[in-house]
Amino acid sequence: MTDLVGQIALVTGASRGIGAATAIALAGAGAHVVLTARDAKALERVEQTIFEAGGSATIAPVDLTEPDGIARLATAVAQRWEKLDVLVINAAVLPELTSVADIDQKAFNRALTTNVLATQSLIANFDKLLRASANARVIGITSGVGANPRAFWGAYGATKAAFDVLLACYAQETEKVSNVRVAIVNPGATRTAMRARAYPGEDPDSLKPPEAVAERLLALLGEAFASGHREAVNPSR
């Protein structure tokens, strides 16, 4: 089993779905988890679940699209712990599925800000704290449409393609000069609110739960994977 006792983990989009399940799993393995999302009430529920299971967590309600929001978060983490061992970049926005010609610019900008610009800001602001860890790992949650374009998924796919490139470049830049290792994980078809929006007619019971993804992410953190590692939890869909 993966042992994260004494480690500090930060999970974005931790209020529900894969993010919440991952935060609970990391806390169960002994990490102190910083829970980040916009919905403070939902974060409190995840925090309570962690406490009731004997784990420890801190909620940090932050809108990743706000100017200086991520910088303030990094400053708070640095002042309290002086390092970051695990960063799970999970928060994402799914714009309306439409043809490239009909993409709504406002919605596209929001997705770009959350999925791409916030990712770069997280890396920039937490890089020093990650390098202060003896065994830092960054896991980015991606989508298959970033690497394999699909009609009507252009807006979301473009943001995930950029997301993948940022993380892959960061992996190369830090691989030989730090203890930071980066993995890019495609969770595949999972029972989440985002999936329900994209496939409203789909039977949710036919999909694996977020906990299945969280279990794999936890196991991955216990493995000596090479930086830049990519994998799909469910490559069939």
Closest C-alpha among 29, 32, 12 to residue 80: 32
pLDDT (0 to 100) of residue 114: 97
Residue 236 confidence (pLDDT) above 70? no
The pLDDT of 206-211, averaged and rounded, is 96
Q: What is the mean pLDDT of the chain?
A: 96
The pLDDT of 60-84, averaged and rounded, is 95
pTM: 0.96
Residue 44 confidence (pLDDT) above 90? yes
* Distance from the Cα of residue 167 to its chain's centroid: 12
pLDDT in tens, 155-201: 999 999 999 999 999 999 999 999 999 999 999 999 999 999 999 99
Look at residue 174 and give its three-state secondary structure: helix
pLDDT in tens, 99-127: 999 999 999 999 999 999 999 999 999 99
What domains can be seen in the chain, in order of their start residue? Answer: 8-232 (3.40.50.720)
Q: Where is 12: in which H helix or E strand? A: strand 8-12
pLDDT band at 237 (very low <50, low <70, confident <90, very high): very low
pLDDT (0 to 100) of residue 92: 97
Residue 235 confidence (pLDDT) above 50? no
The owner of tokens 């928060």 is: 91
Residue 67: Cβ-neighbour burial (10 angstroms; 0-12, 13-18, 19+): exposed
Residue 234 confidence (pLDDT) above 90? no
Other residues' Cβ atoms within 10 Å of the Cβ of residue 148? 10
What letter would DSSP give residue 84?
-
pLDDT (0 to 100) of residue 1: 80
Residue-wise DSSP of 100-148: GGG--HHHHHHHHIIIIIHHHHHHHHHHHHHHTSSS-EEEEE--HHHHS
Closest C-alpha among 13, 8, 7 to residue 214: 13
pLDDT in tens, 14-24: 999 999 999 99
Euclidean distance between the first and final Cα of the chain, in Å?
28
What letter would DSSP give residue 68?
T
